[in-house]
Structure 1
Amino acid sequence: MRVELDEPKCVAAGQCVMVAPEVFDQRDEDGVAVVLDETPGAELHEQVREAAAVCPAAAIRLVGD
């Protein structure tokens, strides 16, 4: 699985960070999400799927999932 983030779509809600903090963080200056690990290990896949599902802007895309 590869994680992609459409930064312009991100509304800085922080839901992804709450669900998968090992994979997502937020920039200090504007709160926009950033991907810390574009190819997380299998043990994180369920958290990443949940993060994508709860993203209010649908800014997270999972490739190869």
Structure 2
Amino acid sequence: MARLPQVVRKEPTRSTRSPRRPPRRGGGRRARSVRRVLRDRRQPVKVRVDSERCQGHTLCAMIAPEVFRLREIDGHSEVIDEEVPAGQETQVIEAVNSCPERAISTID
């Protein structure tokens, strides 16, 4: 009777892939472009909300209440004053990056 070759079992090895990393804070390409506009500005930066894109998630008003307010009729966001007040630039960047509908933009 012929002997069958023995099967050698290898122990499971760890995956060589690196573990999934959490997303970086500060956003991607869009965040860099907004930061560049704010850094290189010669005149005050203006912020705008596209009323057709806004769905009323209210994130911008929670992040920068001095810049954005919610309309009582439909709950969509609107800008209090187009020009970003001094000291509010970082909040505006965060609001632009956090808008899920990408309805907020800056104008230089």
Name the TM-score, length of structure 1 as normaliser: 0.93
Aligned with 1:5 (options 49, 59, 73): 49
Aligned residue pairs: how many?
A: 64
Higher helix share: 1
- Does residue 43 (structure 1) correspond to residue 87 (structure 2)? The answer is yes
Percent of residue pairs identical: 39
Q: Could you say which structure has the greater relative contact order, defined with CA pairs below 8 angstroms and 6 or more residues apart?
A: 1
| 2:15 aligned partner | none
Higher strand share: 1
Could you tell me which of 73, 78, 81 is aligned with 1:29? 73
Query: Structure 2: how far apart are the matches of 1:5 and 1:62?
Result: 9
Length-normalised TM-score, structure 2: 0.57
Q: Which moved more, 1:39-48 or 1:15-24?
A: 39-48
Equivalent-residue separation in structure 2 for 1:49 and 1:8 (angstroms): 21
**AA partner of residue 10 (structure 1):** C
Write out the 4+ residue segments of structure 1 that deviate beyond 3 Å after TM superposition. none
Q: Which has the larger radius of gyration?
A: 2
CA RMSD of aligned residues (A): 0.8
Name structure 2 gaps, 5 residues minimum: 1-44
Q: Indicate the residue corresponding to 1:15 in structure 2.
A: 59
